Amino acid sequence: MKIQIINGPNLNLLGKREPDIYGNQSLEDINKIVSQHCDHKNIQVTFFQSNVEGEIVNEIQKLIDKKFDGLIINAAAFTHTSVAILDALNIIKIPKIEIHLSNIYRREEFRQKSLISKAVDGIICGFGVESYIYAIDAMSKIIKNGIR
Ligand code: DQA
């Protein structure tokens, strides 16, 4: 089973960035934790991060040939603004989960609207690093059992 994780803008600065909201772990730390979890579950996981909207669109488009079984995306600030990412997600047909470290529904009003939610199977947010782990577990079930 192959899962792609895409992280959006400013997530490369996790650990240094608003640690009271996003925690002290760097993206590298998080990727390590997620990789170890995936190793135990026999899942191949690949990570991509970009601060550039078009690069994220390009990466999503690569999934059109179904080389991966599922996509987990934390589009960060683009969650709230990007029709281009929404459109790209609508093109690819594999299972998709939107995630956030923070609970976006408990934050500023502008964060409480996700443009990309319409294109995903489900959303996990508010659990910090565990959001990634829960998403991996949910995705592996969806892929195995075909629950969509
Ligand atoms: C975020 C929430 C977004 O509102 C914010 O712009 C981010 C991170 C999260 O993981 O909690 O950059 O996606």
SS3 52: coil
Atom of ligand 1 nearest to the CA of 76: 13
Predicted confidence at residue 67, as pLDDT, reads: 87
If the chain, 148 residues long, is cut into consecutive pieces of 10 residues, what is the mean pLDDT of each piece?
98 97 97 98 97 98 93 98 98 97 97 98 98 98 86
Contacts of residue 129, Cβ cutoff 8 Å, sequence gap at least 6: 23, 25, 30, 33, 101
> Is residue 114 within 6 Å of ligand 1 at its C-beta?
no
CA distance linking residue 85 with residue 60, whole number of Å: 8
Predicted confidence at residue 137, as pLDDT, reads: 98
Q: Ligand 1 mean position to 76 CA, how many Å?
A: 4
Helix (H) or strand (E) holding 70: strand 70-74
> Is residue 102 within 6 Å of ligand 1 at its C-beta?
yes
Confirm whether 100 is a catalytic residue. yes
* Pocket perturbation via mutation, ligand 1, pick of 5, 16, 101 by most ligand atoms within 8 A of CB: 101
Catalytic residue among 37, 40, 80, 100: 100
Report CA-CA distances (Å) from 57 to 10, 12, 61, 90.
16, 18, 6, 11
Contacts of residue 118, Cβ cutoff 8 Å, sequence gap at least 6: 86, 90
Predicted confidence at residue 146, as pLDDT, reads: 81
Predicted confidence at residue 125, as pLDDT, reads: 98
CA distance linking residue 74 with residue 123, whole number of Å: 10
Predicted confidence at residue 3, as pLDDT, reads: 98
For ligand 1, atom 12, which residue shows the shortest CA distance? 76
Atom of ligand 1 nearest to the CA of 103: 11
Predicted confidence at residue 148, as pLDDT, reads: 66
Contacts of residue 59, Cβ cutoff 8 Å, sequence gap at least 6: 4, 6, 48, 50
SS3 62: helix
* Cβ–Cβ under 8 Å, residues 4 and 68: yes
Q: What is the pTM of this model?
A: 0.97
